Amino acid sequence: MASKLLRAVVLGPPGSGKGTVCQRIAESFGLQHLSSGHFLRENIRAKSEVGVLAKQYLERGLLVPDHVITSVMMMELEKKQSQHWLLDGFPRTLVQAEALDRLCELDLVINLNIPFETLKDRLSARWIHPASGRVYNMEFNPPHVHGIDDITGEPLIQREDDKPDAVAARLRKYKDAAKPVIELYKSRGVLHSFSGTETNKIWPYVYTLVSSKIRPVRSKEAD
């Protein structure tokens, strides 16, 4: 098993369970879980230059452009050069993947391939706590009190693009942007795709794959 630092990415559309899978990998293997959404929220809270810029796009319901998200992620990755890490939510486009190439070579790319109907159902039942990014699903992970965040007691919201009418367009947009990224990593032999409708059923296969690259710090049975 290689002693070099592991550089891994989890790709997947909105609602694919990407955040859950990343969290489990991070806990099981001692990797730093680097979420683009988390770093964006931190920059917005800190009113940094890129945070102010990102907020302007998000407030207008637009996707944060490549150069803004890339700038945020490159700053974070520069600080983590001596650690194993796992990227969540980046790269989402070919431009972002090419920027990442200039910094490092990826060892492992996990692609979550979830049926469209499953994603549509999950997203339509999804509510979030805006300040922290905590996600609830009204069907299988509801808050203790309907409409209220478990930790802070603050109200939850449903994002405009999680509402049923917007979901199909959002998933199409993801698919169009992600296709060349998936093809790029497939051509390099680092892409591993996992299909299914339940994260708990996909997880053992993901665990086995990551175990072949890095030694676990805890067993999968602990989850």
92 annotated among ligand-binding-site residues: yes
Active-site annotation holder among 7, 24, 122, 170 = 170
185 annotated among ligand-binding-site residues: no
End-to-end CA distance of the chain: 24
Distance CA 95, CA 35 (A): 18
Active-site annotation holder among 7, 24, 92, 122 = 92
Runs of H (alpha helix) within the chain: 18-29, 36-46, 49-59, 66-79, 94-101, 116-124, 164-187, 199-211
The answer to whether 116 and 175 have CB atoms below 8 angstroms apart is no
Distance CA 77, CA 59 (A): 26
Whether 92 sits among the annotated catalytic residues: the reply is: yes
Active-site annotation holder among 7, 24, 122, 126 = 126
5 annotated among ligand-binding-site residues: no
24 annotated among ligand-binding-site residues: no
Whether 218 sits among the annotated catalytic residues: the reply is: no
18 annotated among ligand-binding-site residues: yes
The answer to whether 138 and 127 have CB atoms below 8 angstroms apart is yes
Active-site annotation holder among 7, 18, 24, 122 = 18
Whether 159 sits among the annotated catalytic residues: the reply is: yes
Active-site annotation holder among 159, 173, 186, 213 = 159
What string of H, E and C letters represents the secondary structure of 125-163? Answer: CEEEECCCCEEEECCCECCCCCCECCCCCCECECCHHHC
37 annotated among ligand-binding-site residues: no
The answer to whether 216 and 28 have CB atoms below 8 angstroms apart is yes
60 annotated among ligand-binding-site residues: no
207 annotated among ligand-binding-site residues: no
96 annotated among ligand-binding-site residues: yes
16 annotated among ligand-binding-site residues: yes
Q: Which residues are catalytic?
A: 18, 92, 126, 159, 170
Binding-site annotation, residues for AMP: 36, 41, 62-64, 89-92, 96, 170
Extract the annotated binding site for a ribonucleoside 5'-triphosphate: 15-20, 126, 135-136, 199
Binding residue numbers: 15-20, 36, 41, 62-64, 89-92, 96, 126, 135-136, 170, 199
